[in-house]
Structures are given as C-alpha cells and as structure tokens.
Chain A
C-alpha cells in the first residue's frame, strides 16, 4: 500500500521539469507499482476486513470495484497531470501555494508517515517475537504495549530500521525490489496452504458479514471506498506525480493496476484467509498478529516475509518522513531528520493501536493529505476558466497562499469533527473533502488573492 522504492527517483529533477531523455518505459512502472503495493500493510488489512464484518460479496466484488476506481483515478487524473507538468508534487505545490504552505504540508506528511512506519514496526515485531514466548502478541483490542518483552523487540527493531534508514537506504530499496515477486508468492502460498485447513471453503463462511467485538460493519460501500481511497494521498492527492512524471504517456497510469490487483486484491484476500483460519481455531481470542499466523501457515519463509514486508515498508517511510522534517527545518541535517522520524515511528510502533486500526488510520491519512491534489487539479485544468491565477505564488512572488490554506484546512476540520463526533468511517469522507477543497480554492482565490501585476 505504501511506496517503497520511490526516493531513488524522487531525488532527481526535484526543482525542474523532467527532461525527455530521463523518461522511462512502461516496464519500470508496472514493476514499481506491483512491488510497492504488496507490502507489510497487506498482512494487517486483509484480517481487518473480517474483523469489521465484511461479507463475501463485499470483499470479492467491493474490492474489485474499488480497485478499478483507484486505477481509473491514477490513469485519468494523476497521470495526465504528471505527464503534462513533469514536476514533483512539492515543486508544483510551491508554485501554487508558496514555500511556507509546502512546509506545513511537509509537517503533516512527515507526522502521518511516522505513524504509518510505526504500524509497520509493529508488524515486523510480531514476526521477530515468534521465537520468544515471553513476547505477548497484540490482539484487536490491544491499544497499549503488551509488555516489557514487546517493548524491547519494538525498540530494537525501530532503532535498527532507523539506523539503516540513516546509513544504508539504497540497500533496503534494492532488497525491497528483489523481495517483491517472492513476497507476493508467499502471500499466495499462505492463501493456498490455508484452504485445506478451513472447515468450509464457502466464501460466505469465511467472510461472514458479522463484525467482531461489536465493531460497526464496514459493508459494500465501505469496502469499495476503502479500496479506492486507501491510496488517496498518492492518486487524488497527487503524491505520485513524483513517480508518473517520468512516464512517456498518461497511459502508463494503467500500471497502477498491477499494484491494485496483485497487492490490494489477491494479497488482501490471502491475508483474510489466514485470519479466517485463526478465528476458526481460537474464536474470539484470535489474534491478527501477522507473525504467528504466517509462521503457522508457511513456516520460516513466512516469518522472513513478514519481517521483510514490515521492514521494506517502514524503512523508506522513515526515510521520507525524515526528508519531510528536513523540509520543515532546512537547517536540520538529513540524519537528524531521519533519527527524529525513526524515534517517532518507534514510539508509535510500541502502541498496537496504529496497526490494529489501520483501516481508519489509512482513511485519515488519505483524507488529510489528498485535498492538496484538488488544488493542483483546479490549478491545472480549471484555473483560467474560473478566474483563478495559475501558479499564484510563483507569479506573485508570495511565500504563502491563504486561499489554499483555508481551502485545505476547513474541509479537513469538518472531516475531523464528523469523524470524532459521529464516528463516520474516514474513507466515506475523502472524496467530499477533496471536492470541497477544490471548490473552496476557487472561491477563496477569487476573493482573497491579489492578482499578479501585469508583466
């Protein structure tokens, strides 16, 4: 679900248009998307669908529809803008919103990245803890650290991952690329191995539609919207401009389909099967900790897969969060930024709450970050038609665009209010918040922003 190999690309042409000679062929995009969407998060998300009471139809058809919508969004929204502009999100955002607002975006991005990386440290820790019986594995209901041994494992892993993010990122990126096809096959193997152990192969008995622990049922719409919008920050939010700006044609956006249908369909369903078996064996006491489930299914190879899946997701995320913090405080060295990010991620990793509530967290992540993509879409496609100055900050020399800030924060504030007071599933609100942000940007741009002086 999370980009694992992008930074090697992101660091090139950060402040300029990608030249034609640097464009890449379609193969690299298919490989990149297939690899980055088969990751540690997949081990958590599959079981959560069962815990949230998804039925067989919800999962099989809902995921199919949601993933199709995600691919279409990449193809027809992100890729055309990326290939027109050939700029990173940060570069384009700075042209529209000014340096100071990009700093705020960086901060939000960095903090959310840390929590995501923390969830992945948790995933890895469930595998490393398997050989140590004193490590109590977290369950759905665990929000706090499960004990001293758990803390030791998480802190050791977090420190190691931070150290590698500081010193040896290139190695991890390489391992991540190498691991991708093998990791996907381990997911499939887990699914295959689980089938003969299940009491019934009827999908209705696997995805029963009954939520655990009195959770609200997620339902068909929830599954469709989650599958569509779990990567909203990347497609609607335009974070993948950084990747797709290297595409020769917008049609390369179809490559996202490799990630969606291998990672977000096959891998999620296989991970779901693992938890269905766990529920069959342990009932309400079942744990969705990936380490023990995968070890029980496919042995040491599975354990290696869980550690690597968590590691290869957490490491670039810590690295990216460090870069984001460095963007907030330019005097901060990259090492210091990465250490801060790694420390925050490790602290977050101690608390299983982030991993156990990944469905909600991913929805929040997308809903907070995606709206800036609406500002870019308005600027790119509608600006002149609706009387908005394209690239306002660049043209006026401003460092801060108040229209963009208000257009972003107001819908996000309403989202948080609805989420906190009414408990609305975050993915339901991602698109309304995105649309509201785009509309408000038009209104505030016309009313609050001065026009650039004529040349």
Chain B
C-alpha cells in the first residue's frame, strides 16, 4: 500500500516535472516525452492498488 502510493505519486511527478524542465530548456523533447509515458504507465500500474481501498 505504502509502496503503491509512493510509486503512484512518482508517476504523477513524472507526468508533470519533465514538462516543466522542457519548458525551462533543461530537458530535450525526446526524453521528456519518454518520461511522461513512463509516468503514465507508473500511475496506472500503482494507483489502482493505492486508491483501491480508499474509494468512497
């Protein structure tokens, strides 16, 4: 549960932070897109386990 939460939050971070780094000119376009895809996969792999028990 704790690991799933960490991984899910990491997934969300990977969805946003690389875009910010690209906007600041600190990351190239290719790695940015790859990181976003990684973040997406991580979120959908971990979030169901994290949020599975906390839904309304």
- Mark A residues whose CB is within 8 Å of B: 24, 27-28, 31, 174, 177-179, 181-182, 185-186, 188-190, 192-193, 195-196, 298-302, 304-305
Query: What is the distance, in angstroms, from B49's C-beta to the closest C-beta of chain A?
Result: 11
User: Are B12 and A300 in touch, CB under 8 angstroms?
Assistant: no
Q: A182-B44, A189-B18, A189-B19 are in contact. List 14 more A-B contacts (CB 8 A).
A: A24-B56, A28-B56, A177-B51, A177-B55, A179-B44, A186-B40, A192-B22, A192-B23, A193-B19, A196-B25, A300-B33, A301-B15, A301-B36, A305-B40
User: Are A182 and B15 in touch, CB under 8 angstroms?
Assistant: yes
Query: What is the distance, in angstroms, from A69's C-beta to the closest C-beta of chain B?
Result: 28
Q: Which residues of B contact A302 (CB under 8 A)?
A: 36
User: Are A192 and B20 in touch, CB under 8 angstroms?
Assistant: yes
Q: Is B6 an interface residue (CB 8 A)?
A: no
Q: Which residues of A contact B39 (CB under 8 A)?
A: 301
- Mark B residues whose CB is within 8 Å of A: 11-12, 15-16, 18-20, 22-23, 25, 32-34, 36-37, 39-40, 43-44, 47-48, 51, 55-56
Q: Which residues of B contact A190 (CB under 8 A)?
A: 19
Q: Which residues of A contact B23 (CB under 8 A)?
A: 192-193, 195-196
What's the A-B contact tally at a CB cutoff of 8 Å? 66
Query: What is the distance, in angstroms, from B34's C-beta to the closest C-beta of chain A?
Result: 8
Q: Which residue of B lies closest to A300 (CB)?
A: B37
Cα A178 to Cα B25 with chains together (Å): 31
Cα A174 to Cα B37 with chains together (Å): 21
Query: What is the distance, in angstroms, from A28's C-beta to the closest C-beta of chain B?
Result: 4
Q: Which residues of A contact B34 (CB under 8 A)?
A: 299
Cα A186 to Cα B32 with chains together (Å): 12
Q: Which residues of B contact A185 (CB under 8 A)?
A: 12, 15-16
Cα A27 to Cα B55 with chains together (Å): 10
Residue among A179, A188, A298 with most chain B CB within 10 A:
A298
User: Are A299 and B37 in touch, CB under 8 angstroms?
Assistant: yes
Q: Which residues of B contact A181 (CB under 8 A)?
A: 12
